[in-house]
Amino acid sequence: MNYRITHRTTYAYSSQVAMSHHAARLRPRDTDTQRCLEFSLSFDPEPDLLTEHTDSFGNQVACFSVQKLHNHFEVISRSFVSLMPVLQPDPLQTPAWESVAAMFRDPVPVDLLDPCQFVFGSPLLLHEMPLRDFALPSFTKGRPVLAATADLCRRVHREFVFDPKATTISTPLHEVLEKKRGVCQDFAHLAIASLRAMGLPARYISGYLRTHPPAGKPRLQGVDASHAWASCFVPGFGWVDFDPTNNCFTSLDHITVATGRDFSDVSPVRGIITGGGRHSVDVGVDVEPVGA
Amino acid sequence: MSRLDGPDTRGHYDELRDASGKVRTHYEPLITDLQRRDSAGVKRLSDTARRLLAERGVTFNIYDDKGMDTPWHMDPVPFVISAREWEGIEKALIQRATLLNAILNDSYGPQQLIRDGSMPAALVLAQPAYLRPCHGIKLPNAKPLQVYGADLARSPDGQWWVISDRTQIPTGSGYALENRLITSRLLPEVFRDARVRRLAGFFRQMQQSLAALAPRPVEEPRVVLLTPGPYNETYFEQAYLARYLGYTLVEGEDLTVRDDRVFLKTLNGLEPVDVILRRVDDDFCDPLELRNDSMLGVPGLVRAVRAGNVSLGNALGSGLVEAPAMMAFLPGLCRKLLGSELLMPSVATWWCGQERPRGEVEKNLDRLVIKSAFRVRGREACFGNRLTGAERAALAERMRFAPDRWAAQEKISFSTAPMWEDGQLVHKPVSVRVYLVATKDGYMVMPGALTRVAATMDSPLVSMQKGGTSKDTWVLSEGPVENITLLSRTSAPVELRRTGHNLGSRVANHLYWLGRYAERAESSARLLRSTLLRCSPESGMSETPLLLPLLEALKRLTVLDDVPDAAALASQQEQLEARLLEAVFDADHPTSIRSCVSHIQRIGVLLRDRISVDTWRVISQLGDALDTYDNTPSITPMSDALNVLTRIILELASFHGLAKENMTRAQGWMFLDMGHRIERTVYICELLRAGLRSADAENPSLLEAILEVGDSTITYRNRYSLLPQIAAVYDLLMLDELNPRGLRFQFERIRQQFEHLPHEKNSALLTPAMRVFLENNTRLQLCDPTELARVEPGTWAQTQVAKLLTQLIEAMPVLNDALTAGYFAHSTISSSDASPAETLST
């Protein structure tokens, strides 16, 4: 499955901005089942400085600065990505969740150091005890880790209402837990924090989701969105991505861009401006299936 | 001296006496000196110390007490350490600094230590202090710790222990220096005879080490001290160190990153910065790559560091090794990394992330201090034996839920040293913070320390935040003491200079407003004083019409607020008095004298590193007159108010005098004077215009009042020896270039300052501020006050003179804005994340 993706972020400032710095994680990662074949960034106005580096999670980061007066700024990323079907282990054949949690207690074997960094609290997800109470019903004694995770995913999907008005980027998790409402980012955070509360590693994925037009209707441009989901670690297999918003394991519809501990590690475009008064941001995403 | 005869027998190590009760040799000179004084003599030392600290403005901010500028406490009896003992401490701490550096370099590099199991993975990966964006950054000299502080305490058996490591921002060396300046003045003879080692060499090394970090090959690299600002608990120290070390004190918004380089915003444009001595916590240093809710940092700083264009002391991420949990692993790490045993033990520490230590902690909770394994802001330690049963259960559950976040440490019974308290010397528990600075091939230890005294005998914590007191620390030398001052540095001839470094635009802004508020306070005080003098009941109703122009001026200047009708107010004696008192004393009234004074003091704090000690003294005493009134009001508030106003006028005169006599005529002075002149222009114009608008404009009593407010009575009498006459009064206050209270004089000064301000390079155009100024200066020069003598009474308000005054009043805010836009535009930063949640449709 191939996709051509356009991701546009436009800032409008109420007064002139003297300088803006941005850090963007927009380049889709290469994974076992995904290849980013083409990638380009375009800007308006052109930045005076553009550098790239890889962050400690392996994401490509582009840093750019506009060092002259400007009252708007736009960055567009265009990528061409090829996906192969994801092989899922049989959830019932995975190890009991307790044995997985035990592997991540000190001393942690050296080959588990990478997943180990996703077992602790992170900037947006402090290790919160109420999350354990939420997670517990899914983690019955001896249950295979992936089966328990699938159950958790199902419960988030069933018990929580998708409501873009209920939360903002800074709504803390316990509030989401009380309101039982939120968006994909909240649901991913909820699942991740629940897994970590059980002593299991879990990570945050930002990316895109292919939307299927209603039967008989043409695909509309720009209605797609950036999306977020979660990933749990299965020893002997690796990371398994799941989408609590849509209650599924990911496969050919989910395009991975960046992975981290929570949203703060993978924010697609982070910006700091000097001056400028109030600003507004507009984001448009288009995910176009290509070929087959 | 009869106190403290015997040794401390309560199970502490007694620093003063040995077990047999004999004074230890290294304390002898000091104790002999103190014994020569009677109790009153020692009390005098203590009082003098307090006075010197207050005069020098040594303060400390306590967070939860509204306490800006809490006075710093220092006990006059120094803590003394012998040369032999110090040698051991020195060696142990140099080893420890070397070890912590090696751990940092590994954690931000290959992470071999967590790979081979020398250290638990959580100690790096779970720590909030582990700054992932800084992983892999190569430091030019491989020394993330430029400055390191260690808190030491001595247990009953005489052994020294490290009780905490300070690697993020080791605070307090400035206070140690300040304590030293005081004790060397209090006890000059014994200080000299006892061979106390000097501190200056340490700070000179710090200057050299930081200069050596500069990435650019320049002769004199630019080093700045980055402060979180005046609300930080140790702001005094930051300003003090900046001044002592000769660094520019900057806040995040003074700096900017362009082309991955750091620059200081100055009036002359951007100046490159080579090295930053950091007093902002590292995670707050760059909102772009670190905490994005921080407004204290510099966006892009991590990139500049990554590109190798700027060096920081301490390096970003250095907080990692000050985690209490780290102490549990230092002995093994020391053997592994340095091949030697740890020379000074850390306080016994258990990290709960491991099963066996956690079990021991649960078993021995009673004799342990439980704390966060990692240093977390606002997280307090708790004492196991003080917990109730329910609290213990809750703690145990939290520890089991996230064991890697908890650590426990043994309580140490601190040694005691003599301290002066309530008229006698007593034993008090002490801990000592020792400082190290990186050198080319190792570390240098400051031969001295900040000794802190616990408030009570059984308080196991020593903290200035909790109202502890401090002591100077005397490290004795076996041989003669070397004399070093920071000023004569090298034998190379100094390059002569006539200007300082360029002024930061934020500092220029503060100086400008200091000038404006100082003049506002003075002019308001003069205007209020003349008004108060004329509104006593005895002066009778006949004075009322003459009072009116003064009230109008006060109203226009918003000194009297919310007065719809000045005439109505003038006729109600009681209400009038109440409003005038408010204008002096009311803290909630934004333009009262009291508010002006607090503005001046607030700005004074911000300029602490820029103004002289004497100037600071005057500024900090400004409010005293108001406080005296608060504490002991008399039954005649009006006369109290007159006294207060007169005192404030005199104190401001000494402020202006100090500024005039002590400041070099550089950019700083220009902005102070500019603010002063612009504010005075506003006051003169309002006063004169209110006079012309009055029906009694030519009444000699009114003209008398105007001359009095304008402080020009004597000049007038000298010249005219007549009753005041309208044209002559206006000439004196408007056009006389020689009258420092006149308008022409203010304009002439503003013109002079403008000539020296930096202008856009290669531009023949006038700046907007210059344009506004020239236009009005010309108008003023062309004005002819003799027309006042020729017009019909009652039509003064329609004269050219009155129109000019209105124009000038309107021009001043425009001039102010133009100056602000031209010189002070240091915009604040804000974050602009694009969140997926805002646009989601899935």
Q: Which residue of B has its CA nearest to A54?
A: B133
- Report the DSSP pairing between strands A202-209 and A226-234: antiparallel
| Candidate CATH numbers 3.40.190.10, 3.30.70.3170, 3.10.620.30, 3.30.540.10; the one for domain A91-265 | 3.10.620.30
Contact between chains at B401 and A121 (C-beta distance less than 8 A): no
Question: Which of A128-132, A270-274, B101-105, B491-495 has the lowest average pLDDT?
Answer: B491-495
Q: What are phi and psi of A156, to 5 degrees?
A: -60, -45
Distance in Å, alpha carbon of A31 to nearest chain B alpha carbon = 22
Query: What local confidence, expressed as pLDDT, does residue B491 receive?
Result: 47
Query: What local confidence, expressed as pLDDT, does residue B837 receive?
Result: 36
Chain B residue numbers touching A284 (CB-CB < 8 A) = 839
* Cβ atoms of residues A106 and B122 within 8 Å: yes
Distance in Å, alpha carbon of B135 to nearest chain A alpha carbon = 7
Contact between chains at A270 and B831 (C-beta distance less than 8 A): yes
Contact between chains at B842 and A209 (C-beta distance less than 8 A): yes
Question: Which of A148-152, A175-179, A231-235, B54-58 has the lowest average pLDDT?
Answer: B54-58
Query: How far is B74 from B70, CA to CA, in rounded Å?
Result: 13
* Cβ atoms of residues B295 and B829 within 8 Å: yes
Contact between chains at B258 and A225 (C-beta distance less than 8 A): no
Q: Which residue of B has its CA nearest to A171?
A: B837
Chain B residue numbers touching A63 (CB-CB < 8 A) = 288, 300, 303
Pick the closest to residue A234 from A134, A149, A130, A123 (CA basis).
Answer: A149
Write the single-letter amino acid at A74.
E
Contact between chains at B830 and A117 (C-beta distance less than 8 A): no
Query: What local confidence, expressed as pLDDT, does residue B27 receive?
Result: 95
CA A182 to the chain's CA centroid: 15
Distance in Å, alpha carbon of A46 to nearest chain B alpha carbon = 14
Q: Which residues pair with A240 in a beta bridge?
A: A232
Q: pLDDT band at residue A126, thresholds of 50, 70 and 90?
A: confident
Contact between chains at A225 and B841 (C-beta distance less than 8 A): yes
Write the single-letter amino acid at B761.
K
Alpha-carbon dihedral sign for residues A232, A234, A239, A245? negative
* Cβ atoms of residues A173 and A215 within 8 Å: no
Pick from B256, B329, B827 the residue to mutate for testing the A interface (most A CBs within 10 Å): B827
Q: State the pTM of this model.
A: 0.82
Mean pLDDT over A105-116 rounds to: 94
What the block records as the tokens of B298 is 């510099």
Query: How far is B227 from B47, CA to CA, in rounded Å?
Result: 32
Contact between chains at B833 and A51 (C-beta distance less than 8 A): no
Chain B residue numbers touching A120 (CB-CB < 8 A) = 122, 125-126, 404
Contact between chains at A120 and B834 (C-beta distance less than 8 A): no
* Cβ atoms of residues A258 and A23 within 8 Å: no
**Architecture of domain A2-84+267-290 in this structure:** Sandwich (2.60)
Q: pLDDT band at residue A168, thresholds of 50, 70 and 90?
A: confident
Pick from A106, A126, A286 the residue to mutate for testing the B interface (most B CBs within 10 Å): A106
Query: What local confidence, expressed as pLDDT, does residue B424 receive?
Result: 84
Chain A residue numbers touching B831 (CB-CB < 8 A) = 270-272
Contact between chains at B353 and A245 (C-beta distance less than 8 A): no
Q: Which residues pair with B396 in a beta bridge?
A: none
Chain A residue numbers touching B835 (CB-CB < 8 A) = 168-169, 185, 267
Least CB–CB distance from A164: residue in B116, B288, B837: B837
Size of interface A-B (CB pairs under 8 A): 169
Least CB–CB distance from A275: residue in B288, B354, B827: B827
Distance in Å, alpha carbon of B121 to nearest chain A alpha carbon = 7
- pLDDT of residue A160 exceeding 60, the answer is yes
Query: What local confidence, expressed as pLDDT, does residue B509 receive?
Result: 85
Q: In this structure, what DSSP letter does residue B716 have?
A: H
Q: Which positions ≥6 away from B111 have C-beta within 8 Å?
A: A113, B124
Distance in Å, alpha carbon of A92 to nearest chain B alpha carbon = 27
* Cβ atoms of residues B89 and B434 within 8 Å: yes
Let me know if B156 is exposed, middle or buried by CB neighbors in 10 A (0-12, 13-18, 19+). Answer: middle
3-state secondary structure of B829: strand
- Cα-Cα-Cα-Cα dihedral of B708, B714, B719, B721, to 10°? 80
Contact between chains at A67 and B258 (C-beta distance less than 8 A): yes
Contact between chains at B300 and A281 (C-beta distance less than 8 A): no
Helix (H) or strand (E) holding A157: helix A145-159
Count of other CB atoms within 10 angstroms of residue B555 = 20
Below-70 pLDDT ranges, chain B: 1-10, 61-69, 378, 455-467, 483-502, 536-544, 759-765, 825-842
SS (H, E, C) B409-444: EECCCCCEEEEEECCEEEEEEEEEEEEEEECCCCEE
- Report the DSSP pairing between strands B311-313 and B275-278: parallel
Q: Which positions ≥6 away from B636 have C-beta within 8 Å?
A: none
Mean pLDDT value across chain A: 92
Q: Where in chain A is the domain with CATH 2.60.40.2250?
A: 2-84+267-290
Q: Where in chain B are the domains? A: 1-347+412-486, 505-824
* Cβ atoms of residues B116 and B510 within 8 Å: no
Contact between chains at B303 and A168 (C-beta distance less than 8 A): no
Query: What local confidence, expressed as pLDDT, does residue A259 receive?
Result: 98
Q: Which residue has the higher pLDDT, B643 or A41?
A: A41
Contact between chains at A272 and B287 (C-beta distance less than 8 A): yes
Contact between chains at A129 and B132 (C-beta distance less than 8 A): no
Least CB–CB distance from B841: residue in A223, A228, A269: A223
Query: How far is B289 from A43, CA to CA, in rounded Å?
Result: 21
